[in-house]
Amino acid sequence: MSAATSLDELLAKDAIADVLARYSRTLDWLDDEGQASCFWPDAAIDYGFFKGSAADFLPVVMAIERRSARRWHFLNTPAIRFTSATHAEVETYGLTAGARRSDAGSYGGTLYGGRYLDAFEKRGDEWRISRRDYVLDWSHPIPDQPVFDPDAAFPLPILEVLQGGHPQYRAI
């Protein structure tokens, strides 16, 4: 492999990792436009409960995310294999948690462990997801927790994102 090819692959890996980081952030902050920028609109999506294009999937997944008052998507370092200069197969393990506020004011939800089996495609100068199959490996309920009011002795800010456009969200 030439030095130029090695450099191109390193830059592509960085771009792919950036897309995956953006995917998690934009879900957690409810950024519809940022989430759409992770996928080619014609990307084939299969989450089991949904099979279709990314353009059709994005409103569905964002509606699901909006049902949680708090959500976290954590992804590990992706495994990337290039099949050409413009195509890559990518597998990424992830943990996801979502918590909903009950009428009583407590929070409960589910912790999920799964993996994203993606194909990435470079069009022009941009890498995005062109196919995604999600595989759920396990899930575990998160028991109801009391309301997370700040502790006066150790006051930490508490974040609750209920809609897009949160004042602490920064486009990165």
Tens of pLDDT, residues 72-127: 999 999 999 999 999 999 999 999 998 888 877 778 899 999 999 999 999 999 99
Q: Whole-angstrom Cα distance, residue 128 to residue 50?
A: 20
Q: Whole-angstrom Cα distance, residue 158 to residue 63?
A: 23
What's the count of helices (H) and strands (E) in the chain, helices before strands? 3, 7
Question: Any residues with CB less than 8 A from the CB of 166 and at least 6 apart, and which?
Answer: 29, 30, 159
Tens of pLDDT, residues 7-41: 999 999 999 999 999 999 999 999 999 999 999 99
Of residues 80 and 167, the one with the higher pLDDT is 80
Residue 72 has which token pair?
């976290």
Say which CATH topology domain 3-144 has. Answer: Nuclear Transport Factor 2; Chain: A, (3.10.450)
Q: Is the pTM of this model over 0.85?
A: yes
**Burial of 47: CB neighbours in 10 Å, binned 0-12, 13-18, 19+:** middle
Q: Whole-angstrom Cα distance, residue 156 to residue 41?
A: 39
Which residues on neighbouring strands pair with residue 88, listed in sequence order? 82, 120
**pLDDT computed for residue 69 by the predictor:** 84
Tens of pLDDT, residues 115-163: 999 999 999 999 999 999 999 999 999 888 766 666 667 666 777 788 8
How many residues make up the chain in this entry? 172
Q: Domain boundaries in the chain?
A: 3-144
